[in-house]
Structure 1
Amino acid sequence: MLAPRLAGAQAARQSLKCTCRAAYTTRAALARPGPASLTSSPLPRFDAPSARPTPRSFARAYSARTTPTDPIVVEGNTYPRDAFSNVTPTILSKLPRRLHLSPSHPIGILRTLIESHFASFKHLNSLSPIVTVQQNFDDLGFPADHPGRALTDSYYLNQTHMLRTHTSAHEVESFRSGLEQFLLTADVYRRDEIDRSHYPVFHQMEGCSVFDPATGAIERLEKENAEMRAALKAANIVIEDETGEETATNPYQAEHDPRVARVIAEHLKNNLNGLVLKLFGGRASQGGEPLRVRWIEATFPWTAPSYEVEVMFNGKWLEILGCGVVRQTALERSGVGHKQGWAFGLGLERIAMVLFSIPDIRLFWSEDARFLSQFRENEISTFKPYSKYPECYKDLTFWVPSQGEAEKAWHENDFMELVRDEGGDLVESVQLIDEFTHPKTGRKSRCYRLNYRSMDRSLSNEEVNRIQDRVIERVTGEMGVEVR
């Protein structure tokens, strides 16, 4: 491990020397996942439990950085700053974009196609991204110490208001308003790593449908199930469903009549099989093979039983969405405990990157006509790269703070946010390429590779050097690291 450490340190000491390579050069040791990995845009409510280590304490997660004292003014409202305020001007500048409302943008095209499949549903897509902490977390039953609440994971205007982290922030109010069937599409915000498939702003769609068994709704669902089964049987689709009915690992809820739960689960599956056929069926039929869809058991906090849906695309199984029968406790919190229903959630970017062959999630935010002019309303087309600009990377090595509270304050997401704030969309990826612990002092060193590449033009060494200088200045002053 000594040789790699020295190599990383030497590269960091030359941080003002920029290494440029031909676009899309492959470095096996630093291979990045392509869009087929579908790692971007986490599913609304249907996220797997966080894989991040739980912070040593909630105080550590809520470590505050030096911030301005002037209030935050956004969407015509003023929010006083406090110790929670961590949203940056870079992130706030994304709020007016509303990509999902542009009918000829890939995100808007996909939204429209999904809405057309659920034509009878109420379509909610213009809700403000600013919500209360209660809406985003408390109303959904998030524990007070849940990692998702941390300043390192979410964007706060202040202690009481934040940028929504999922579409589910509007679920309770939607149910309380009397809606029984709705699709909710929105831009959501999370602090995250930097690479081609992650972005701090992405788009989710959540669909919910609830029924009152006392009004004969279950009999109506049985009739609809028969009709949808017949339509799917006649379509060019092969459905692999090993989830069956109730299992010990994916049981029905104790509050539910098994017959009713079975009908609701089948109604969910039939609707979503039809949606997947609508989105992917055309591409699958081009090769003469039927579309293959696979259902697998899953575990989500707000549904039971729960499922994930995968599609065979270009020879690989791709996770498309998560879904399940809504937990009765969630409906009770919404004031509709006498009803039962199903819900699903999906990330629009993760599907659009595959359907439109878009290799870099930053492209969705491009205002270059060479990108935007390639897409037409209601059409799924293949993106054609208009140019491949060279990459320019710099290595930055530093000692992580090791004294007192400073050590508790370090979090990688804070570093990622700082880099993104300075470099914006010119930063293609940030990768940890080396770690080292000094055998005598115990000090910890990290080496990050910051890869710069514009989607629209060539970058000069001088321009990248200026950005890198600002990153070094801020990471030293705000995060207490010692650059090597």
Structure 2
Amino acid sequence: MTKLFLKTNRTLSAILSNYKYSTAAKSVAAVQIKGKEFISDDYTNVTPKILSYLGKNLHLQKNNPLSIVRQRIVNYFYSSFTHRGHPSFSIYDNLSPIVTTKQNFDDLLIPSDHPSRVKSDCYYINRDTLLRAHMTAHQSELLRSGLDNFLMIGDVYRRDEIDSTHFPVFHQVDAVRSQRKEELFPGKPDLEIFEPSFDVNNPHMFINSIDDPMKQSCHTLEATKLMETQLKSHLIGLTKVLFGDSIKYRWVDAYFPFTHPSWELEIYYENKWMEVLGCGIVRNEILVNAGPSNTIAYAFGLGLERLAMALYKIPDIRLMWSTDTGFLTQFENIDLNASVTYKPVSSYPQCTNDMSFWLPPNLTVDTFMSNDFYDLVRDVGGDIIEQVKLKDKFVHPKSKKHSLCYSIIYRHLERTLTQAEVNQIHKEIEKAVVDAFGVAIR
């Protein structure tokens, strides 16, 4: 049986080479990824553990629930949109996850001070290169290539907390649908996509505004409302294909830097509202910068893990990475639309160990980056780390020293862990934390 986690038999020095006392990634000469060398710098924070997930492509692996959901979504768009007997949407599901900051942020109008750019949220290879944080990072390059309707599917990477619903690698489906005037308003030459003040021949001369919550200043209200109606209709159709016609849903106004207006779709799942996707009308500046200046487009993005866990009642996101036949055979050769409820292969107990430490003088309970700690815990402990929770913050009233306490929950998905082996791994994590961040274990 293939193990779900990487045993901690490699030297801690190999792990600690990625950290230094400032809780930022250590600047080393270069990072090797799939035979290619990237010069590292003060932004480098990608870890060996994270790099080990590259190329796994769970969304393309037969019998994986992520692949089943992916295929159901693709089938919906293939059947719903055709042109002269051929699918209107093209599919891109094997794009490299290594992108530039320009692709991931600048091309999408994400401001330089936006919180999604910070090192604590992204896995940077260096200041100019990172592992994509969303599939939308490929939107502009595909638009520049002349595409108008396409799905982008793949793995994305974000630094986050550790629990049963969060993992540093997950999978997204993003889509763009563009339309020209004659497609949007067939047989209605009096209707326009753009306001009279917008010149499609000189689009860069127009300063587009999103001050109006109803539309972008370059678009007519008629064009925006028709695209909104199409977008919501198509996504409600997809939701009903996945969850059934009786599913309750609602739209919530949202904000994304790259769309306006924007919405989130929520479904009523297990007695509470759950967000399943974000969407909106693509900012016209993105279309103009990519080449097309006479179209209007909508876009959306959704996470495959969230959908698969809801559809198949999968309780732990780590199970998506399992190679255990007891898990995979439950999804083997099934009808894509079959109603499948995951049955636990086994139920193994948790082991919980707390870790308390004094921070060095240059750090406080508010400036210490928990995501740096989470990455180090995951690097040492592997995928038997089920959850890490910040349990307590403490400032000594006399010495003014700052202390943090984290609870680390261990659980193997395929066998029972002994407290002795958990204690050994816990000690290795303690040593790594001391060496990396200059803390003192309490």
Q: Confirm or deny a common fold (TM above 0.5).
A: yes
CA, structure 1 residues 270+92, in 2 after alignment: closer, same or farther (shift >3 Å)? same
Residue 374 of structure 1: SS of its match in structure 2?
Answer: helix
Which digits, 9 at most, give the CA deviation of each residue in 1:345-373, with x for residues without a partner?
11111111110100001110111111111
CA, structure 1 residues 198+257, in 2 after alignment: closer, same or farther (shift >3 Å)? same
Which digits, 9 at most, give the CA deviation of each residue in 1:167-217, with x for residues without a partner?
11101001101111011111001111111111000011111101111xx11
Task: Return the match for 1:425 from 360, 378, 383.
Answer: 383
Q: How does 1:304-383 map to 2 (within 5 A)?
A: 304-377=260-333, 378=336, 379-383=338-342
Q: How does 1:416-455 map to 2 (within 5 A)?
A: 416-455=374-413
Q: How does 1:208-219 map to 2 (within 5 A)?
A: 208-213=176-181, 216-219=182-185
Give the equivalent residue in structure 1 for 2:251: 295
8 Å CA contact 2:148, 2:179 repeated in 1? yes
Give the equivalent residue in structure 2 for 1:273: 236
Task: Return the match for 2:216 from 249, 253, 257.
Answer: 253
Deviation of the 1:221 alpha carbon: 11
Give the equivalent residue in structure 2 for 1:158: 126
Identity of aligned residues (%): 43
Deviation of the 1:129 alpha carbon: 0.7
| Paired AA for residue 167 in structure 2 | Y
Supply the distance in 1 between the matched residues of 2:112 and 2:215 (Cα, whole angstroms).
Answer: 28
Which digits, 9 at most, give the CA deviation of each residue in 1:108-128, with x for residues without a partner?
000100011111211110001
Give the equivalent residue in structure 2 for 1:182: 150
Deviation of the 1:437 alpha carbon: 1.5
Name structure 1 gaps, 5 residues minimum: 1-61, 223-246, 285-289
Supply the distance in 2 between the matched residues of 1:252 and 1:312 (Cα, whole angstroms).
Answer: 28
| Paired AA for residue 66 in structure 2 | I
8 Å CA contact 2:109, 2:258 repeated in 1? no
8 Å CA contact 2:411, 2:417 repeated in 1? yes
Supply the distance in 2 between the matched residues of 1:395 and 1:436 (Cα, whole angstroms).
Answer: 15
| Paired AA for residue 25 in structure 2 | R
Supply the distance in 2 between the matched residues of 1:342 and 1:423 (Cα, whole angstroms).
Answer: 42
Residue 248 of structure 2: SS of its match in structure 1?
Answer: strand
Supply the distance in 1 between the matched residues of 2:109 and 2:280 (Cα, whole angstroms).
Answer: 18
8 Å CA contact 1:423, 1:467 repeated in 2? yes
8 Å CA contact 1:250, 1:306 repeated in 2? no
Deviation of the 1:295 alpha carbon: 1.9
| Paired AA for residue 340 in structure 2 | S
Give the equivalent residue in structure 1 for 2:26: 66
| Paired AA for residue 26 in structure 2 | T
CA, structure 1 residues 68+138, in 2 after alignment: closer, same or farther (shift >3 Å)? same
Q: How many residues align?
A: 389
Supply the distance in 2 between the matched residues of 1:263 and 1:181 (Cα, whole angstroms).
Answer: 17
Task: Return the match for 1:88 from 29, 47, 54.
Answer: 47
Supply the distance in 1 between the matched residues of 2:220 and 2:114 (Cα, whole angstroms).
Answer: 32
Supply the distance in 1 between the matched residues of 2:224 and 2:28 (Cα, whole angstroms).
Answer: 52
Deviation of the 1:220 alpha carbon: 4.3
TM superposition score normalised by structure 1 = 0.76
Residue 429 of structure 1: SS of its match in structure 2?
Answer: strand
CA, structure 1 residues 357+407, in 2 after alignment: closer, same or farther (shift >3 Å)? closer
Supply the distance in 2 between the matched residues of 1:453 and 1:407 (Cα, whole angstroms).
Answer: 28
Task: Return the match for 1:458 from 401, 407, 416.
Answer: 416
- Which consecutive segments of 4 or more residues in structure 1 shift more than 3 A? 62-69, 247-250, 405-409
Give the equivalent residue in structure 2 for 1:191: 159
Supply the distance in 2 between the matched residues of 1:63 and 1:143 (Cα, whole angstroms).
Answer: 25
CA, structure 1 residues 467+249, in 2 after alignment: closer, same or farther (shift >3 Å)? farther
2:105 is the counterpart of 1:137: yes
Give the equivalent residue in structure 2 for 1:122: 90
Which digits, 9 at most, give the CA deviation of each residue in 1:310-349, with x for residues without a partner?
2223433222111111111222222223211111111111
Task: Return the match for 2:225 from 262, 265, 279.
Answer: 262
Name structure 2 gaps, 5 residues minimum: 1-21, 79-86, 189-209
2:377 is the counterpart of 1:411: no
2:68 is the counterpart of 1:109: yes
Deviation of the 1:66 alpha carbon: 3.4
Supply the distance in 2 between the matched residues of 1:380 and 1:415 (Cα, whole angstroms).
Answer: 39
8 Å CA contact 2:358, 2:404 repeated in 1? yes
Greater alpha carbon shift after TM alignment, 89-98 vs 294-303 = 294-303
Supply the distance in 1 between the matched residues of 2:62 and 2:290 (Cα, whole angstroms).
Answer: 32
CA RMSD, 1 decimal: 2.3
8 Å CA contact 1:221, 1:264 repeated in 2? no
| Paired AA for residue 64 in structure 1 | A
Supply the distance in 2 between the matched residues of 1:250 and 1:322 (Cα, whole angstroms).
Answer: 16
